[in-house]
Amino acid sequence: MAGIIYVSRKRDYEGYLCSLLLPAESRSSAFALRAFNVELAQIKDLVSEKTIGLMRMQFWKKTVDDIYSDNPPHQPVAIELWKAVKRHNLTKRWLMKIIDERERNLDDKAYRNIQELENYAENTQSSLLYLTLEILGIKDLHADHAASHIGKAQGIVTCLRATPYHGSRRRVFLPMDICMLHGVSQEDFLRKKQDKNVRDVIYDIASQAHLHLKHARSFHKSVPVKAFPAFLQTVALEDYLKKIQQVDFDIFHPSLQQKDTLLPLSLYIRSWRRKY
C-alpha cells in the first residue's frame, strides 16, 4: 500500500490530499482508485507509439475483467483495486468507462468543441467521483448530479493547467470551436502569445468550469453530508480559477505553475466546515 500512496502523492498531489481527509475505512480504497487513474493517465505521456498505448489499455481492460473474476494479476495497483472492489462492491462500468475514454484520448488531437472536452471529463473524472461515492457507501441522485458537474469542472481545469506543458511539447488540446470563435490558432498558444483574443479563449473555457462548480453547489442542500468528502477537490479547482482571473487569464503566467502551499490547510478547513 505504501507504494500506492507514494504514486498518488507524487503524480496526483491534490487527489492524495483529498483522499487523506476521507473517513479512515475508505482511504485505502480511494488511494487504489487514484493510483489506477494515474496509471491510465500517464500512458499517453509515457508511450512513443499509439500501438503500445493501446496494448497497455488492453492490459488494464483484462485486469479489470480478472478483478471481477477474483483473479487479479500480481501487480500492486491491480491487487489494491481488487481489494477495493471486494470491499465496496464497486461498479465495473465506471472503471471500464475510464479506460475506454483514456484509450480514445490516445489520439493526439485537440477537442473539437467544449462538449467533447466535457464528455471526456464526465467519463474520466466524474466516473472516478461516482466510484468514490460508492466507497463512501452513498447511493444518491443529488450526489451523482454534483459529481457529474464537479468532474466536468475538474476535466476543464486540468486541460487549462496542462496547456503550458503541452505547449512545450508542441501540442494544443484546447477546444477548437472556442479558438475559432476568437480567431486564435494553435500556433498562437505555441508562441505563448498574450493578446486579448488569446486570453478571451481562456476566459471562455474557465467560465465553463466555473459554471459547472456553481451548478454542483446549487443543490448542496440536497446532497447527503456524508458525500461532501468526495467533493473536496472543488477547493483546488476554485483556487485555480481565482488565480487565473487575477492574472487576467494569462495561461502562461508563472504564478499558475506554483504549488499552493496553503492547500492542505484550506482542504482541512473546508472539510471541518462540511462544505464543498
Q: Mind listing the pLDDT tens digit for each residue in 136-168?
A: 999 999 999 999 999 999 999 999 999 999 999
Taking residues 122-132, report their average pLDDT. 98
Q: How many percent of the chain have pLDDT more than 90?
A: 84
Domain covering 109-275 in this structure, CATH number: 1.10.600.10
Q: Is the pLDDT of residue 7 over 70?
A: no
The reported pLDDT for the residue numbered 108 is 80
Supply 261's cell numbers.
502551499
Cell numbers at residue 25, please? 475505512
Name the segment(s) of the chain with CATH classification 1.10.600.10: 109-275
- 22: pLDDT confidence band, cut at 50, 70 and 90? very high
Cα–Cα dist 78/60, whole Å: 9
Global pTM value: 0.94
The answer on pLDDT for 254 being more than 80 is yes
Average pLDDT along the chain: 94
Q: Which three cell numbers stand for residue 158?
A: 486540468
pLDDT at 57: 97
Q: What is the pLDDT of residues 182-233, one digit of tens each?
A: 999 999 999 999 899 999 999 999 999 999 999 999 989 999 999 999 999 9
In whole angstroms, give the CA distance from residue 190 to residue 126.
30
Rounded Cα distance between 130 and 174, Å, is 26
- pLDDT at residue 12, rounded to an integer: 86
Provide the percentage of residues in the chain whose pLDDT is more than 70. Answer: 99
Residue 97: partners with Cβ closer than 8 Å, 6 or more residues away: 123, 124, 127
In angstroms, rounded to a whole number, what is the distance separating the alpha carbons of residues 240 and 158? 10
When pLDDT is averaged across residues 238-257 and rounded to a whole number, the result is 96
Does position 2 have pLDDT exceeding 80, yes or no? no
